Amino acid sequence: MVFLRYRFRVYPTAPQRVSLARAFGSARVVYNDAVAARRHAHAEGLAYPTTAALSKQLITEAKRTAERSWLGEVSAVVLQQALVDCDKAYKYFFASLKGRRPGPRMGPPRFKRRSGTQSIRFTSNARFSVLDNARLRLPKVGDLRIAWSRELPATPSSVTIIKTSTGKYYASFVVAVDSGEGLLEPLDDPDAETGIDLGLKDFAVLRGGKVIANPRFFRRLEKKLRKAQRGLSRKMKGSANRAKARIKVAKIHEKIKHTRADWIDKQVSAIVRENQAVYVEDLFVRGLGRGRVAKSVHDAAFGMFLARLESKAKRAGRTFAKVDRFFPSTRLCSACGALTGPRGLEGLQARKWECGCGANHDRDQNAEINIRREGQRLAALAAGLAER
């Protein structure tokens, strides 16, 4: 069983926007109250408050007070899910402290703000439903109009309503599908395998010298973004003009984000569709994003590309392997196997080089050949078809 997300644009009416704003605010208050309660317990040396205890204190009992009586105007499931999210955030934080969670060290949960992205989640307990007229019915909100781009493959188990910083609304459905769904027909062509050498000059070089150009989405709009940010900095805090300027900046960021994600999805789909096996380098993207080329590395979004490529390849039934990041794919001569290629920062300028054996290499094409060969060896090793 595999869980997938389907996201669609939502167009609420004016009264529905008021109801959603009330739900967003209530969920945010409950979440912040839970964080405050756990911080207080830690400062006083008390036991960690459980979700059940906080639910009774921050929801059930709080509704009976004059200060929190408005919590009864929204669905109780939305408030319960806010507590669940807070508890998950603390569990991830504790696991990170103990070294049981992969990735960089996480900090403790922080208070949520009014500005920025807002979200609420409805589970099956809330009895939300997709009506015959293609509208989404939510408790204490109403029937929302959705721009459906495709049909859901199964009945969703939950839906998250999201409001972005630019004021757009989305519905994100979680759907459980069979793990075999989405498999592609195997390709019989033995040459339908490729290594992928990622870079900044060209985004990627594939088998046969095929090049995917680097689109540089952030660089294209950097001048426009700088101008909008400069205008925002000159507006008086709390004024209506500052709110308009903030939205203008957010829209530019949103355009960069959406165009980049759409482009990456299309490239990933094409690569998986055209190749039976895909081999990539296990790049240390976090480390690459700290140097002098940090802005270009973040703009290229190598981490997003590799994560989506791996997920798509495995779901489609394609072979996928990662080559160790210390494998000398650039320095290794694909003809004789000698380590005679350019190295270090000074070698970044060398796009072509000649090996002592007489072979002339294009830097990126040579790296792709080496990555493909090493990936084939690792895939055979994993399948038990080759010796270590």
Q: Is 204 exposed, middle or buried (0-12, 13-18, 19+ CB in 10 A)?
A: buried
Q: What pLDDT score was predicted for residue 118?
A: 95
Per-residue pLDDT at 347 exceeds 80:
no
Q: What pLDDT score was predicted for residue 274?
A: 95
Indicate if 274 belongs to the active site.
no
Q: What span, in angstroms and rounded, lies between the C-alpha atoms of 257 and 299?
A: 10
Task: Confirm if 80 and 59 have CB atoms less than 8 A apart.
Answer: yes
State the catalytic residue, choosing from 87, 197, 299, 374.
Answer: 197
Q: At 311, which CATH number?
A: 3.30.420
Per-residue pLDDT at 387 exceeds 70:
no
Mean pLDDT of 76-94: 96
Evaluate whether residue 11 is within a structural domain: yes
Mean pLDDT of 23-36: 97
Among 153, 177, 201, the domain boundary falls at: 177
Task: Confirm if 138 and 105 have CB atoms less than 8 A apart.
Answer: no
Q: Please choose, from the candidates 168, 175, 182, 125, the residue with its C-alpha nearest in 3D space to the C-alpha of residue 311.
A: 182
Q: In this structure, are 162 and 268 located in the same domain?
A: no
Q: What pLDDT score was predicted for residue 104?
A: 80
Residue 155, C-beta contacts closer than 8 angstroms, at least 6 positions apart = 175
Characterize 59-89 residue by residue with b for buried, 16 or more Cβ atoms within 10 angstroms of its Cβ, and e for exposed: beebeeeeebeebeebbbbbbbbbbbbbbeb
Q: In this structure, are 378 and 263 located in the same domain?
A: yes
Q: In this structure, are 206 and 97 located in the same domain?
A: no
Q: In this structure, are 198 and 167 located in the same domain?
A: no
Q: How confident is the model at residue 108 (pLDDT cuts 50, 70, 90)?
A: very high
Q: What is the pairing mode between strands 135-138 and 142-147?
A: antiparallel
Q: Is 52 exposed, middle or buried (0-12, 13-18, 19+ CB in 10 A)?
A: exposed
Type of residue found at 307: A
Per-residue pLDDT at 217 exceeds 70:
yes
Q: In this structure, are 345 and 206 located in the same domain?
A: yes
Task: Confirm if 252 and 259 have CB atoms less than 8 A apart.
Answer: no
How confident is the model over 146-188, as pLDDT tens digits?
999 999 999 999 999 999 999 999 999 999 988 778 888 988 8
Q: In this structure, are 86 and 16 located in the same domain?
A: yes
State the catalytic residue, choosing from 87, 193, 281, 374.
Answer: 281
Evaluate whether residue 101 is within a structural domain: yes
State the catalytic residue, choosing from 33, 87, 299, 364.
Answer: 364
- Write the DSSP assignment of 177-225 as a string of letters: E-TTTTPPPPP--TT-EEEEEE-SSEEEE-GGG-EEE---HHHHHHHHH
Task: Confirm if 169 and 9 have CB atoms less than 8 A apart.
Answer: yes
Q: What pLDDT score was predicted for residue 382?
A: 86
Q: In this structure, are 8 and 56 located in the same domain?
A: yes
Per-residue pLDDT at 35 exceeds 70:
yes
Evaluate whether residue 227 is within a structural domain: no
Q: In this structure, are 370 and 277 located in the same domain?
A: yes
Evaluate whether residue 188 is within a structural domain: no
Choose between 152 and 350: higher pLDDT.
Answer: 152
Q: In this structure, are 206 and 117 located in the same domain?
A: no
Per-residue pLDDT at 339 exceeds 80:
yes
Angle between helices 14-43 and 76-97 (to 10 degrees): 40
Type of residue found at 98: K
Q: How confident is the model at residue 2 (pLDDT cuts 50, 70, 90)?
A: confident
Q: In this structure, are 306 and 377 located in the same domain?
A: yes
Q: What pLDDT score was predicted for residue 71?
A: 95
Q: How confident is the model at residue 345 (pLDDT cuts 50, 70, 90)?
A: low
Q: In this structure, are 132 and 167 located in the same domain?
A: yes
Q: Indicate the number of domains in the chain.
A: 2
Q: What span, in angstroms and rounded, lies between the C-alpha atoms of 336 and 368?
A: 15
Evaluate whether residue 201 is within a structural domain: yes
Mean pLDDT of 336-341: 89
Q: What is the pairing mode between strands 158-163 and 118-123?
A: antiparallel
Indicate if 362 belongs to the active site.
no
Evaluate whether residue 282 is within a structural domain: yes
DSSP character at residue 12: -
| CA dihedral of residues 92, 94, 96, 97 (deg, nearest 10) | 170
N- to C-terminal Cα distance for the chain? 33
Stated as kind and residue range, the H or E segment containing 136 is strand 135-138
Mean pLDDT of 237-260: 95
DSSP character at residue 101: S
Q: What pLDDT score was predicted for residue 316?
A: 93
Per-residue pLDDT at 49 exceeds 90:
yes
Evaluate whether residue 345 is within a structural domain: yes
Q: What span, in angstroms and rounded, lies between the C-alpha atoms of 79 and 218?
A: 37
Q: In this structure, are 14 and 61 located in the same domain?
A: yes
Q: What pLDDT score was predicted for residue 388?
A: 55
Q: Which domain holds residue 34?
A: 2-177
Q: What is the pairing mode between strands 319-323 and 277-281?
A: parallel
Evaluate whether residue 230 is within a structural domain: no
User: What is the share, in percent, of the chain residues with pLDDT greater than 70?
Assistant: 98
Residues in a beta bridge with 9? 147, 170
Task: Confirm if 176 and 309 have CB atoms less than 8 A apart.
Answer: no
Q: What span, in angstroms and rounded, lies between the C-alpha atoms of 134 and 36?
A: 40
Q: What pLDDT score was predicted for residue 288?
A: 81
